[in-house]
Structure 1
Amino acid sequence: MITKLNTQELIHEINRLKKEKKAIILAHNYQRAEVQDIADFVGDSLELSRKAAKTKADIIVFCGVHFMAESAKIFSPDKKILLPVYDAICPMADMIDVAQLRLLKKEFPNIPVVCYINSSAEVKGESDICCTSSNAVNVVKSLDEDKVLFIPDRNLGSYVAKQIPEKEIVCWDGFCISHNRVRSDELDMVRKHRGKIKILVHPECSPDVVEKADFVGSTSQIIKYVSKADEKEFVIGTEMGILHSLEHQNPHKKFYLLSPSLICSNMKKTRLEDVYRALKDEIYEIKVDKDIMAAAKKSLDLMLKIS
C-alpha cells in the first residue's frame, strides 16, 4: 500500500532529493504559490533558463510549460531537464508550427522573422531572432528592415507596432488565451470604482486593454515597477500567479487582479506531488534535436547580444 505524503513530508522529500541528485527547481511566476515557495529560482522563462545554465546542477526541474523546459535544454544541453507535468503546454506556442512558418516566409520572402520566446524550439530555429515581452520593442528597432514578421502573438506584435510606427509589423494570428480574455470594460469598471488606482497590464492583453492601462510591461517589469512606485495599491493585469511574488516582496502594498480570467490552467497543473515524482523517478525528460537546438540558440543569442 502506498502512503500518501502530506505537504510537509513532500517538501522534506523534495529538498532531500534535490541535494541527493544535485538538482535545482525553477518555477515561473505564474506557478502555484506552494511550487514557487520550494523553487531555487522564480522568474520569467528566459531569466530562469539563463540562471540555471550558470549552476553546477545535474538536473533541472522546470515548473512551467513545455517551451520553457525546451529553452532550459537549449541553454543547458548537458543537463537533464525535467518537466513535472508532461502535458503542461502553452496554447499560444502551439498556434504556429515550423511548416506554417515556412509557408509564411514564402509569402513574405526576405522579411526577417521575430519570434516571441513563447514558441517551440523548432519555430525559434526557423526564425531570425527571438524576443521577450520586455525586449520586443528593442529587438524590432535593431533590425535594418522596414518590414518585420512577428510570431506568434498578435497582441504583443500590435503593441510593438505602436511603439515603432515607422516599421510595418506583419503579425501572426496567435494569442495568449488567458490574457486575451481580459475585456476593456473590466478596466473601465476598475476606473469607475477605484478611481486613480494604477492599472498594470501585460502586452499579451488585447490592444484596447493595453491602450487604457497606466503601465504596460512584462511580468518582471511589472514586479520592478511596483517595487519602485510610491503608490500602495495596484490592479494587476497579468496571470494571477504573479500576485504571490508581488505580495511577498511588497508586504505593505495591496494588489487586485484585473480580471478573473487571468488564470492559466496549464501553469496551474504542476503540484508539489508532481515535483516530487519528477525528482524521485526522473520522468518527463525534455530532449531537443541537436540541429534544432543549435538553430534556436543562434536566434536566442542574437537577441541577447542586442539586449
Structure 2
Amino acid sequence: MENPADTIKRIKASMGDSLAILGHHYQSDEVIQFADIRGDSLELSRKIDSLDAEHIVFCGVYFMAESAATLSREGQKIHIPDTTATCPMADMAEAGRVRNVLDILQKNGRNIIPLTYVNSSAAVKGVVGEYGGSVCTSANAKTMLAWALKQGDGVLFLPDKHLARNTANALNVPEDTRIILPVDVIDGDPALHVDPALVADKSFIIWPGYCPIHEEFTLESMETIRANEPDAKIVVHPECDPALVAAADGDGSTTFLIKYAEEASEGATVYIGTEENLVNRLTALYAGKKTIKPLMAHQCEDMGKITVEKLAQKLLTLETATPVTVSDDIKEPARLALQRMLDVCA
C-alpha cells in the first residue's frame, strides 16, 4: 500500500499546474514540505487570482479557505483537507451577533464602522462589508484602523481584543475613548450586554475575542528570560496581551517575525512568541548560526488537524470532493470589505 507522502508526490507530479497546494506558516513540517506556496492567511489568498490551477488545496484553517473562495476566479475550486479545522478566535465572532451589535451601536444615528481582522468567517466579513467596513491583517492593522477612524463616528474592531488594543496603542488612540464589550456578547444575547448609553462617548469599541495560543504567553516567562539571558531578544505576535507587546523588543505579523529572525546577527539568541511550528522551523533553518527559541511551547490544535494522511486523501478525491464555497449573498459584501483593504493598502 502506497504511503501518504508518496501519494502526494505522485499526484502533484501527475496534475502539474492544475493543482496548487498552499500552506500556512503554522502548519507542521510534515505538511508544509508539500506546499507550493507558503505564507500567512491573506498573503496566500491574494495569490489565488494569479494561479492557473483549477484545484487549490489550502492547508490551514477554515476561514482561510473561505477567504480564498471569496477571492477565487470562476472555475477555481478551493479545498481544505479537514473542514473541522476552525479558528477559535474567528468562532468567537458569529455573523448574527456582529450584526446585532452593530445595529445596537448605530442607534441614535451613530455611524460605527466595523473593522474585522482577517481571522474571521466569510459571513462576518460580509456583514462588515454591508456596514461600510473593511478587513485588516496584523501587518496592516495600523493603516486600516487609521482609515476606519476617519470614516464615521467610531470603529468596532473584531474579533481580537489584543490586536485591537496593541494597534490603538501604536496609533496613540486615547484610553478614555476605548471600551471592550462584555464577553457575554460572544455566547449570550448581545442586546442584554451592549448598552448604547455605555458606548455613546466611545469611538473605539472592541470585540472581546482572543487567540487561545497567544493568550497563553505570559509576562513571567519574558521576565525569566531577561534575568537569565539579558542579551537575548524577544519578539511577539500582536495577538499577545499588550503587556507582553510593551515588554518585547518588537512585535509584528508572522512575516515580521520571520524577517526578524533572518536579520538577527550571527550568534544572537531570539525568543519568538507565536505558534511553535513556525518557531521550530526557524530554529532548524538557522541552527549553528543563531539561536531561535519559542517563548513558550504552544501549538494550534486546529492547524494540527491538517495531516499528511488527510492531505493525501483529499488529493485522491479531488474530482468528487465538495469544494469550499461562499454563497453570493455573503461573497459579494465580503469581497467588497477585502477590496477596501486592498485599495487602502495599494
TM range (shorter): over 0.9
Q: Does structure 2 conserve the Cα–Cα contact (< 8 Å) formed by 1:17 and 1:279?
A: no
Give the Cα–Cα distance (whole angstroms) in 2 for the partners of residues 248 and 293 of structure 1: 40
Q: Does structure 1 conserve the Cα–Cα contact (< 8 Å) formed by 2:166 and 2:238?
A: yes
Give the Cα–Cα distance (whole angstroms) in 2 for the partners of residues 284 and 29 of structure 1: 25
Q: Does structure 2 conserve the Cα–Cα contact (< 8 Å) formed by 1:139 and 1:306?
A: yes
Give the Cα–Cα distance (whole angstroms) in 1 for the partners of residues 153 and 256 of structure 2: 27
Relative distance call for 1:59 and 1:244 in structure 2 (3 A) is: farther
Relative distance call for 1:96 and 1:203 in structure 2 (3 A) is: same
Letter in 1 for 2:122: A
Q: How does 1:154-193 map to 2 (within 5 A)?
A: 154-166=161-173, 168=177, 169-193=204-228
Relative distance call for 1:41 and 1:224 in structure 2 (3 A) is: same
Aligned length: 302
Q: How does 1:19-98 map to 2 (within 5 A)?
A: 19=16, 22-78=18-74, 79-98=76-95
Give the Cα–Cα distance (whole angstroms) in 2 for the partners of residues 228 and 6 of structure 1: 38
Deviations 1:156-197 (A, max 9, x none): 001011112346421101000111111111111111222121
Q: 1:242 aligns with which of 268, 273, 278?
A: 278
User: Higher Cα Rg: structure 1 or 2?
Assistant: 2
Q: In the alignment, does 2:298 pair up with 1:258? A: no
Aligned to 2:190: none
- Structure-2-length-normalised TM-score: 0.83
Give the Cα–Cα distance (whole angstroms) in 2 for the partners of residues 265 and 8 of structure 1: 22
Q: 1:150 aligns with which of 149, 157, 171?
A: 157
Q: In the alignment, does 2:268 pair up with 1:267? A: no
Which has the higher mean CA deviation after the structures are superposed, 272-281 or 221-230? Answer: 221-230
Which has the higher mean CA deviation after the structures are superposed, 57-66 or 278-287? Answer: 278-287
Give the Cα–Cα distance (whole angstroms) in 2 for the partners of residues 249 and 138 of structure 1: 32
Structure 1: runs of 5+ lacking an equivalent: none
Deviation at 1:146, TM superposition (A): 5.9
Letter in 1 for 2:112: I
Aligned to 1:100: 97
Deviation at 1:276, TM superposition (A): 1.2
Deviations 1:61-81 (A, max 9, x none): 000000000011111142100
Give the Cα–Cα distance (whole angstroms) in 2 for the partners of residues 219 and 284 of structure 1: 31
Which has the higher mean CA deviation after the structures are superposed, 41-50 or 221-230? Answer: 221-230
Give the Cα–Cα distance (whole angstroms) in 2 for the partners of residues 30 and 292 of structure 1: 27
Relative distance call for 1:16 and 1:210 in structure 2 (3 A) is: same
Q: Does structure 2 conserve the Cα–Cα contact (< 8 Å) formed by 1:86 and 1:284?
A: no
Which has the higher mean CA deviation after the structures are superposed, 50-59 or 276-285? Answer: 276-285
Which has the higher mean CA deviation after the structures are superposed, 96-105 or 142-151? Answer: 142-151
Relative distance call for 1:236 and 1:242 in structure 2 (3 A) is: same
- Structure-1-length-normalised TM-score: 0.93
Aligned to 2:341: 303
Deviation at 1:249, TM superposition (A): 5.2
Which has the higher mean CA deviation after the structures are superposed, 249-258 or 219-228? Answer: 249-258
Deviation at 1:222, TM superposition (A): 1.0
Q: Does structure 2 conserve the Cα–Cα contact (< 8 Å) formed by 1:13 and 1:276?
A: no
Letter in 2 for 1:37: Q
Give the Cα–Cα distance (whole angstroms) in 2 for the partners of residues 292 and 30 of structure 1: 27
Which has the higher mean CA deviation after the structures are superposed, 28-37 or 141-150? Answer: 141-150
Structure 2: runs of 5+ lacking an equivalent: 178-203
SS at match of 2:112: coil
Aligned to 2:193: none
